[in-house]
Amino acid sequence: MENKSEEKKAEAPSQDTFDKYAIIQTGGKQYQAIEGKTIGIEKLEGEEGQQIEFTEVLLRKLGPDQIEIGQPFLSKPVKASIVKQTKGPKVIIFKFKRRKKSRVKKGHRQLLTVVRIEEI
C-alpha cells in the first residue's frame, strides 16, 4: 500500500510549456505569439484575410536551447493574418461624489483586431 501512495505523490501535475513562441509588441502592449493561435489586440488597420507583419519582436524561442533576444528588436518579423475586426466587452465608468448629487455614468467598448499567428 505504501508504494501506491508514494507513486501518486511522485506524479507531478502537467504544465503547459511551449517549445516555439515569440513575444511581440503592438499598441503599447506585449503579447505571446504561438503559431496557429489567435490573439485579440488593439485595433489595426486592415480587412479580414489580410496578411500583416509584426516587426517589433522582442524575444523568440525556437527550441529548448534556442532563444533569441532582441536589442531592442529582432530583425525577422512575425507573420499573421487578420481573422476579424470586433469590439471588446463593455466597460462601465461610474464617477460618484457623495453628498454632492454628482453622478456620471459612461460606457466604452474597445475596438479589437483578432489575428492568427502564421509564422514565428
Closest CA to 77 of 56, 61, 62: 56
- Cis amide leading into 72 (omega within 30): yes
Per-residue confidence in pLDDT tens, the chain, 120 aa: 555 555 555 555 556 677 899 999 999 999 999 999 999 999 999 999 999 999 999 999 998 889 999 999 999 999 999 999 999 999 999 999 999 999 999 999 999 999 999 999
pTM summary value = 0.76
Distances (CA, A) of 98 to 16, 94, 104: 48, 13, 12
Q: Give the start-to-end residue ranges of the domains of the chain.
A: 18-119
